[in-house]
Amino acid sequence: MANHLSSAAPRVPRQLLNKVPEVTIWFWIIKILCTTVGESFADYINETLGVGLYRTAILFTAVLVAVLWAQMRARSYQAPLYWLTVVVVSITGTLYTDILTDGIGVPLWISSTVFASLLAVVFGIWYARERTLSIHSIVSTPREAFYWLAVLVTFALGTAVGDWTLDLTGWAPGQAVLLPLGLIAAVAAAWKLGAGPVLTFWLAYILTRPLGANIGDWLATPTKEQGLGLGTAGTSVLFLAAILGTVAYLTVSKADVIPDADPEPERELVG
């Protein structure tokens, strides 16, 4: 009888320790570093090395599958593995948008609309199933799958919206940094004044993508075109080194480890 009841019981998703870092200032610093690498390294492989857009996308899709497999198998947050996954997702999301824009010729406003709609669908299904979109509750495999799908779409959306904005404004690389930076400051101010923490977190997460991309373009663009002239290789190396240093610090200090599976929701935007 006991065996019969046990087999008839509903299946409970595998419970894990929280798989994502605490949202502190370190989170936002390293997120921007990762988005800059996503822009510069994708351009370096695709254009500077001449691998080509489609072959680069296939290569990093395979890498993404591998790192996601490793990340999903881990039972708790591990800073090196988590941020490696973010870097690869950043590169891959950039490439997917570039394929639509440069490879197929889809206008950026259409790409932006498609990715925004897709993100709304992901969030809608995620919330309908899990009743929360908080990153402080990534304690089961389904929630983690929704989380990484949302992250991938935010990178693609941020790339499309950022490029579309540049096309509309015609701003120089340095000027282009100011718009997403100002919008992030506005989102942070809204959060401080009581706006919903989950909404403000995801808005800021999306906006860091064009911010990081614009920083990367500014650093890589030749000085004659109002950039700093580091090139895509130099920019990639600089920011990868910064990521490695930050991840090493976080690995040792545990400054970004969520202490329990369900901390207070008001810590959603910054620690």
Digit-coded pLDDT (tens) for 252-267:
998 888 765 444 444 4
Local structure of 140: helix, strand or coil = strand
Domain extent listing, the chain: 19-256
Judged against a pLDDT cut of 90, whether residue 152 lies above it is answered with yes
As a whole number, mean pLDDT of residues 101-129 equals: 94
Distance CA 93, CA 77 (A): 22
The per-residue pLDDT for 99 is 94
78 CB-contact burial (10 Å; exposed 0-12 / middle 13-18 / buried 19+): middle
What is the dihedral sign for C-alpha 165, 170, 173, 174?
negative
Most confident of 20-24, 35-39, 213-217: 20-24
pTM, 2 dp: 0.84
- pLDDT 10s digits, 157-215: 988 888 888 888 888 878 888 989 999 999 999 999 999 998 999 999 999 988 988 88
What number of residues does the chain have? 271
As a whole number, mean pLDDT of residues 7-30 equals: 70
As a whole number, mean pLDDT of residues 120-133 equals: 93
